[in-house]
Amino acid sequence: MFSLNKRNIRVAISPFCNLSCIYCDGPKSRKPNKPGAMEDFRRKPLKQGAISTDMFIKIIEALHLARFDGMTLTGGEPLLNPEWDLIVNKAKEIGMSRIGVTTNGTLLNTYLQKKGHLPKGLTLLTISLDTFDADRLKAITRRGKFEEVMKGLSEAKKDNPKLKIRANKVLLRSDMESLLDYIEFCEKSGVIDEINLLNLILKDQQSKRFFEEEFISASEVLDFFSKHTKYKFSIDNKYEFNTKLSSDLRIILKDTNLTLRNNQCINCPIYCQEGFYTVRVATDGNITACPDHKAELSSIDGVAELKRGTLFNKVNQLVKTFETAEPKETLDDFFVKNNIKLRKGN
Ligand SMILES: C[S@@+](CC[C@H](N)C(=O)[O-])C[C@H]1O[C@@H](n2cnc3c(N)ncnc32)[C@H](O)[C@@H]1O
């Protein structure tokens, strides 16, 4: 079920965010500079609060020993952590072969002006860029400045032309009319190599109405592409479709329906894209096999286990749960259970 070459960790290195995206509705992220990492929303934070860079690095090292080979830094906004670049380079020294950062891009240009270069170890820069329309970007993020983000991307590409740049776009029904223009914009941008289309995740019950209005399933998006384009999508792993256009732009379409869920997921109030594929490290060092872990099941206190010298064994136990995980609930079951009535077909 869980192949070795796909073992990734996602490390939330900043509990703060400088934006407040409409779909990212953890209770605290709506206020600027209040803790808002996805990994922290749904459970009691551990006592120690956000951990030090040194501790992040020790945890990354332990996870690498447990054969996790890829790492993405996230948050909150990871570039709000002034040592994000140090963490990237240490991860490279440790031996991580894929190292990414997922950022809203608003601080990238300032970073490059100050430091001159991106950290050498970085192999993937993912920018959350929902639209190429500056007003719409502001409406979605409440503060994001399109020009600043694009400037950051072009400076990043100049600094390292080989760096893969991926644009994350959350699929919203109200944006479908402009989806093909968005793809064309990315093709012509000269900086974007991949588009990652993400299914909207229901983040909490308060946003249910928004979800019902805006969710659009991957199968409906595939139908849309087959009606309006010649793109041919295929699945080359367990949880996403993808295609490469003649311009070499790759489009990834994540499908929540393909998420690997197991018993632990049954009481979870969201239906995510990753399920058990990715291990998450929260800003306080809590480690789970889940992006939005509500129950405390299978969660590891990374700092305490490091001190006890038992982190490696604990992580290995956690990994064993992947190997026996099986999908236990479909997206349709989830809609029924949560009384979700989508606005259109899906
Ligand atoms: C939570 S952000 C954190 C990293 C960084 N601040 C950023 O903006 O990229 C990570 C990714 O999660 C996505 N995301 C947030 N809320 C989501 C939701 N409700 N459904 C699907 N994706 C979501 C964002 O679009 C972003 O690409």
185-243 pLDDT, tens digit per residue, is: 999 999 999 999 999 988 766 678 899 999 999 999 999 999 999 999 998 766 789 99
Cα(290) to centroid of ligand 1, in Å?
Answer: 15
Distance CA 115, CA 159 (A): 11
Q: Is 11 in the pocket of ligand 1 (CB under 6 A)?
A: no
**In a domain? residue 173:** yes
Average pLDDT across the chain, whole number = 86
The encoded tokens of residue 43 equal 């459970």
Q: Structural domain tally of the chain? A: 1
Single-letter code of the amino acid located at 225: F
Q: Is the CB of 75 under 6 A from ligand 1?
A: yes
Structure tokens given for 62:
């332990």
User: What one-letter code names the amino acid at 123?
Assistant: T
Least confident of 142-156, 274-288, 315-329: 315-329
Verify whether ligand 1 is closer than 6 Å to residue 24 (CB atom). Answer: yes
What's 131's domain CATH number?
A: 3.20.20.70
Q: Is residue 59 part of a domain?
A: yes
Provide, rounded to the nearest whole percent, the portion of the chain with pLDDT above 70: 80
Instruction: Please indicate whether residue 312, judged by its CB atom, sits closer than 6 Å to ligand 1.
Output: no
342 located within any domain: no
Q: Are 137 and 144 in contact (CB under 8 A)?
A: yes
Distance 128 CA to ligand 1 centre (A): 7
**Beta strand 250-254 pairing with 278-281:** unpaired
**Greater confidence, 276 or 116?**
116
Using CA of residue 188, residue 241, residue 218, residue 228, what is the dihedral sign?
Answer: positive
Q: How far is the CA of 87 from the centre of ligand 1 (A)?
A: 21
Cα 58 to Cα 65: distance, rounded to the nearest angstrom: 11
Asked if residue 36 has pLDDT above 60, the reply is no
In single-letter form, the type of residue at position 337 comes to K
- pLDDT (mean) for 143-150: 94
The CA distance from 178 to 57, in Å, is 41
Does the Cβ of 214 fall within 6 Å of ligand 1?
no
Q: Whose CA is nearest to atom 16 of ligand 1?
A: 24
User: What pLDDT was estimated at residue 51?
Assistant: 92
Greater confidence, 342 or 321?
342
Q: Quote the domain boundaries for residue 86.
A: 4-337
Question: Is the pLDDT reported for residue 84 higher than 90?
Answer: yes
Strand ranges of the sheet holding 234-235, from the earlier edge strand across to the other edge: 234-235, 240-244, 250-254, 194-198, 164-170, 124-128, 98-103, 70-75, 8-14, 278-281, 286-288, 300-301
Q: Which residues contact 12 (CB under 8 A, 6 or more apart)?
A: 37, 38, 39, 40, 74, 75, 76, 78, 280, 281, 282, 283
pLDDT at 1: 43
Assess if residue 345 is contained within a domain. Answer: no
Distance 279 CA to ligand 1 centre (A): 16
Residue that wins the pLDDT comparison between 255 and 158:
158
pLDDT at residue 27, as a whole number: 44
Rounded to the nearest angstrom, the gap between the alpha carbon of residue 151 and the centroid of all alpha carbons in its chain is: 22
- CB distance 59 to 302 below 8 Å: yes
C-beta atoms surrounding 177 within 10 Å: 8
Q: Measured between alpha carbons, how far is 80 from 286 in angstroms, rounded to an integer?
A: 20
In a domain, 192, yes or no: yes
The answer to whether position 17 is within a domain reads: yes
Please give the Cα distance from 142 to 333 (Å, whole number): 33
Report the pLDDT value the prediction gives residue 66, as an integer from 0 to 100. Answer: 85
Q: How far does the chain reach from its first CA to its final CA, in angstroms? A: 27
Is any atom of ligand 1 closer than 6 Å to the C-beta of 149? no
Q: What is the DSSP letter of 5?
A: G
The full length of the chain comes to 346
Is residue 344 a part of any domain in this protein?
no
Q: Which atom of ligand 1 is nearest to the CA of 169?
A: 25
Give the Cα-Cα-Cα angle 302, 295, 341 (nearest 5 degrees). Answer: 135
Q: Is 18 in the pocket of ligand 1 (CB under 6 A)?
A: no
Is ligand 1 within 6 A of the CB of residue 170?
A: yes
The pLDDT of residue 153 is above 90: yes
Is residue 37 within 8 A of residue 74, CB to CB? The reply is: yes
If phi > 0 it is left, if psi is from -120 to 50 it is alpha, else beta; for residue 115 that is alpha
Distance 39 CA to ligand 1 centre (A): 11
Please tell me which residue, 170 or 235, carries the higher pLDDT value: 170
Is residue 80 predicted with pLDDT exceeding 80? Answer: yes
Burial of 243 from C-beta contacts in 10 A (0-12 / 13-18 / 19+): middle
Compute the distance from residue 58 Cα to the ligand 1 centre, in Å.
Answer: 26
Is the model's pLDDT at 272 over the cut of 50? yes
77 lines ligand 1 (CB under 6 A): yes
Residue 343 lies in a domain: no
Query: pTM of whole model > 0.85?
Result: yes
